[in-house]
Amino acid sequence: MAFVFNPFTGTLDQKLVVEGTSSEISGNLVLNDGYISNDGGDEGIRIDNNGKVGIGVADPDTTLEILNASAAQLKLTKDDTYYTTFAMEEGALEMTIAGGLDLNIGGGQNFRIYEGGTGSSNQRFLLSNSGLTTKMRVSASTGSADYFEAEVEDDGATTLSTVDSDSAVPASGHLTLDPDGELILTPVTEVKSDAPLKIKEAADAVADTAAYGQLWVKTATPNELYFTTDAGNDIQITSGTDLSVILVQSDQPTAISEFDDYPFIYGTTYNRLYHKVDGATMAYETMTEVSFTFSISDTTFRTASSGGSETANVILIGTATNMYVDVNYNNDVSPLDGAPTIHYKKNDDGNDTSGATDTSSLHLATSTSGSSHTSGTAFVVPATTSASDSSSDGAFSRHAYSGDYFTVRVSSTDGGVTDTDVSERYTFLNGIVWGSCAATTGPTAAEFLESFSAGLNATGGKGYAFPMTSGSFSDSYYHSNFGSRQITADSGSEYMFFGWPDQGGAATTIKAPNGDDISGDFRTLQTFGSTSTYPNSAGYMETYNVYVSTNAGVNLEVTVT
Q: Which of 70-84, 125-139, 173-187, 501-515 has the lowest mean pLDDT?
A: 173-187
The model's confidence at residue 170, banded by pLDDT at 50, 70 and 90, is low
Task: Give the pTM.
Answer: 0.53
Is the pLDDT confidence value at 249 over 60? yes
Stretch (H or E) spanning 235? strand 234-236
How high is the pLDDT of residue 43? 84
Q: What's the pLDDT score for residue 324? A: 94
pLDDT band at 107 (very low <50, low <70, confident <90, very high): confident
Question: Considering only CA atoms, which of 487, 504, 500, 495 is closest in space to residue 441?
Answer: 495
Cα separation, 247 vs 238, whole angstroms: 11
Any idea which of 156-160, 339-343, 413-417, 468-472 has the lowest mean pLDDT? Answer: 156-160
Give the residue with greater pLDDT, 443 vs 391.
443
Please say if the pLDDT value at position 13 is more than 50: no
Q: Is the C-alpha dihedral spanning 382, 388, 394, 396 positive or negative?
A: positive
Q: Per-residue b/e over 362-397, b at no fewer than 16 CB within 10 Å?
A: ebbbbebeeeebbbeebbebbbbbbbebeeeeeeee
Q: Which has the higher per-residue pLDDT, 466 or 178?
A: 466
Contacts of 49 (CB under 8 A, 6+ apart): none
Q: Is the pLDDT of residue 24 over 80?
A: no
Residue type (1 letter), 211:
A
Classified by CATH at the fold level, domain 295-427 comes out as Immunoglobulin-like (2.60.40)
Please give the single-letter amino acid code of residue 132. Answer: L
Q: Are 66 and 73 in contact (CB under 8 A)?
A: yes
Residues contacting residue 309 through CB under 8 Å, at least 6 positions apart: 302, 303
Q: What is the mean pLDDT of residues 358-378?
A: 83
Average pLDDT score, the chain: 86
pLDDT of residue 181: 65
Running DSSP on this structure, what letter comes out for residue 221? S
Range with the poorest average pLDDT among 160-164, 308-312, 363-367: 160-164
Q: How confident is the model over 336-359, as pLDDT tens digits?
A: 999 999 999 999 999 998 877 765
- What is the identity of the amino acid at 365? A
Pairwise CA distance, residues 454 & 442, whole Å: 18
Say if residue 3's pLDDT is above 50: no
Kindly tell me if the per-residue pLDDT of 235 is higher than 70: yes
